[in-house]
Structure 1
Amino acid sequence: MCSEQTPTEAPQVDLVVAVDVGGMSIKRGLVSFGDGGAPSVESLPAQPIDATASADVLLAALRSAIDPLLRRAVDGQQADVLALGVAFPGPMDYERGIPAIRGQRKFDNLCGVDLRAWATTAWPDQTLDVRFVNDAEAAALGESIAGASRSSQRSLMVTLGTGFGAAAVVDGCGALLVGGVNVQLLFEALVEDHGRADDVLSAVGLAALLGVPVDGVAGAAQAAREGDVAISSSFEEFGRRLGRFLAGHVRAMNMDVLVIGGGAGKAFDLFAPSLRAEVRAEVHAAALGEHAPLIGAAAFTVM
């Protein structure tokens, strides 16, 4: 699906409030597109979040993350309506702003909550134009605007976070169905006999393969870089699993660039060789880091 709301050309606006709601933290910032040049991001520190918390606790965390950005936006531009872009994991009714997540270890308690109506109530003194976009799609759009896939007409980005996310950009537009592949449902697909992509090809899956907790992946990566052969082989196996899983989809969608992001992507150098050996496309690490979904959510919001 190619929508006028998901272009990779920078829109003509001054300032957009953007947040990326992840399973462990809320990334946030103010995105400026200036006079149509490269976007800039003024980010605030990410706010930790317990994605398994009650709805009230999660909504309070969202409010505390967004509130200082809105106050800065009011000070930074003269506008009657403030644009707020929210990147959020699926499944979700993005048009209405209602999550539909069940059984993914995150945000189950927001299932069915009308987040657009909540935002209107949370900031009654502000007129907000709130748009919701899939977090993986937001990251892919951001990388297409100013990052690793900027020169590509057909790119696939996968985010390896608390779950497995994927989004495609074709001819400047976010695409949900490409070559018969429903990109946003790849997280449910099986990875050989190892399990679902969401469980196996994610930061959680990488941690399980390494035999460490999720917050221990960075330490394992450092050990591998310092010469631990056993740990290095686990990273290589992760790259093979990821490459074998993606190879057919990349071929079916005729993608020329594959971008790897998300928390596990910080160990890209350790699994990239075995991944590249399996996939017939350019493979790059995401270039924008936490700014990619913020730029993508902002671009989606203002169009």
Structure 2
Amino acid sequence: MNKRNVVGVDIGGSHITAGLVDLDTNVLDEASLVRREVDSSGSAVSIIGEWKKAIEAIPGYSLQHLKIGIAMPGPFDYPNGISLIEQQGKYASLYGLEVKKMLAEALGCDTESIHFENDAACFLQGEVASGAARSFDHAIGLTLGTGLGSSRYHGEFAEDAALWCSPFQGSIVEEYVSTRWFVEAYQKKTGKEIAEVRELTLEEENKAYAADIFREFGENLARFLIDFIKKESPQVIVLGGNISKAEELFLPIVEEELDRAGLATPIRITELGEQAALIGAACSWKVQKENGHSKSRIK
């Protein structure tokens, strides 16, 4: 394996994606990409086993010069590689365990060869490295899906902003800008149920309600972004996650509301998609090499 190549890994709620990233160019080798389904409700042994299989299945993988950067959802003790995830319907069996040590033992490598970072931070770092935020010195990122991921970048490496639980309209912001909100909004309007946001855009019978629902969503997102922008003063905003795929239905509303607030920060949709966090995780080794520690803490 080229010594400038690093294994980038993205841990999702039901899958793992891994591949080789060239740190000179910040580009993923598409031919090396591996994706495996993972039963996140399974035992710790089975979860680590699936991760091991995915990493070892990468074409060109070798223990020689091995470095692995992993984008991991929180809460997690990133420097020490200990999972703090509980009551989230995923990875409960890993709670309190030394995940880094377990994976290193499974792969037959040193723990120093494995580096964990927050997945929201890795998403934005990937976009800064080779995506929608490249050439910018200050950026914020949001991943919009089953939950809300938020991150900020001011040089060096992106950080998790952890704003999902920020107070918002009598609740928390995640309740207003996630898939749950769409499900509840549709149910209130129709008395019917949907499971995913894409049902609003793909099924003909739902399109009549889509415009109103997405307008309200856009207004909610803009209210949240106004405070985030004023706090961080970004040069660009990057949106990712499954909801961002319906950008044409809500982005004009967001931009309209930001303009009304006197904010002209450009909003860009992810260029790297699901590969952003993987690339960002691999790029974390640049910071690790310089500083000797994880940028992410316990979050």
Shorter-chain TM-score: what band? Answer: 0.7 to 0.9
1:72 alignment partner in structure 2: 60
Decide whether the 8 Å contact of 1:203 with 1:263 is kept in 2: no
Distance 2:128 2:184 in 1: 31
2:233 alignment partner in structure 1: 254
1:14 alignment partner in structure 2: 4
Whichever residue aligns with residue 142 of structure 1, its letter is G
1:202 to 1:32, Cα distance in 2 relative to 1, 3 A: same
Q: 1:169 aligns with which of 153, 169, 181?
A: 153
1:180 alignment partner in structure 2: none
Count of aligned pairs between the two proteins: 274
Decide whether the 8 Å contact of 1:206 with 1:264 is kept in 2: no
Decide whether the 8 Å contact of 1:39 with 1:295 is kept in 2: yes
| SS of the residue 1:73 aligns to | coil
In the TM superposition, residue 62 of structure 1 has moved relative to its aligned partner by: 2.0
In the TM superposition, residue 246 of structure 1 has moved relative to its aligned partner by: 2.0
Q: 2:201 aligns with which of 191, 212, 221?
A: 221
Distance 1:207 1:30 in 2: 37
Q: Alignment identity in percent? A: 30
Distance 2:244 2:34 in 1: 20
In the TM superposition, residue 243 of structure 1 has moved relative to its aligned partner by: 1.4
- Superimposed CA distance per residue, residues 159-181 of structure 1 (whole angstroms, 9 cap, x where no aligned partner): 123321111111343245xxxxx
| SS of the residue 2:67 aligns to | strand
Distance 1:58 1:208 in 2: 32
1:130 alignment partner in structure 2: 114
Decide whether the 8 Å contact of 2:139 with 2:152 is kept in 1: yes
TM-score, structure 2 normalization = 0.82
Aligned-pair Cα RMSD in Å? 2.5
Distance 2:117 2:97 in 1: 16
In the TM superposition, residue 59 of structure 1 has moved relative to its aligned partner by: 2.4
- Does 1:266 find its partner at 2:219? no
- Does 1:188 find its partner at 2:165? yes
In the TM superposition, residue 29 of structure 1 has moved relative to its aligned partner by: 1.6
In the TM superposition, residue 23 of structure 1 has moved relative to its aligned partner by: 1.7
Distance 1:205 1:24 in 2: 22
Q: 1:102 aligns with which of 86, 97, 109?
A: 86
1:91 to 1:234, Cα distance in 2 relative to 1, 3 A: same
Distance 1:276 1:234 in 2: 17
1:7 alignment partner in structure 2: none
| SS of the residue 2:33 aligns to | strand
Distance 2:34 2:40 in 1: 18
Decide whether the 8 Å contact of 2:48 with 2:103 is kept in 1: no
Distance 2:20 2:117 in 1: 17
Whichever residue aligns with residue 189 of structure 1, its letter is S
1:270 to 1:50, Cα distance in 2 relative to 1, 3 A: farther
Whichever residue aligns with residue 206 of structure 1, its letter is F
2:173 alignment partner in structure 1: 197
In the TM superposition, residue 94 of structure 1 has moved relative to its aligned partner by: 0.5
Structure 1: which 5+ runs fail to align?
Answer: 1-11, 177-182
1:149 alignment partner in structure 2: 133
Decide whether the 8 Å contact of 1:16 with 1:73 is kept in 2: no
Decide whether the 8 Å contact of 2:148 with 2:178 is kept in 1: yes
1:28 alignment partner in structure 2: 18
1:109 to 1:240, Cα distance in 2 relative to 1, 3 A: farther
Whichever residue aligns with residue 233 of structure 1, its letter is D
1:5 alignment partner in structure 2: none
1:269 to 1:28, Cα distance in 2 relative to 1, 3 A: farther
1:159 to 1:120, Cα distance in 2 relative to 1, 3 A: same
1:8 alignment partner in structure 2: none
In the TM superposition, residue 223 of structure 1 has moved relative to its aligned partner by: 4.2
- Superimposed CA distance per residue, residues 73-105 of structure 1 (whole angstroms, 9 cap, x where no aligned partner): 22xxxx733011110011211101112123333
TM-score, structure 1 normalization = 0.81
Distance 1:20 1:61 in 2: 13
2:25 alignment partner in structure 1: 37
Distance 1:38 1:121 in 2: 28
Distance 2:175 2:44 in 1: 24
In the TM superposition, residue 146 of structure 1 has moved relative to its aligned partner by: 1.0
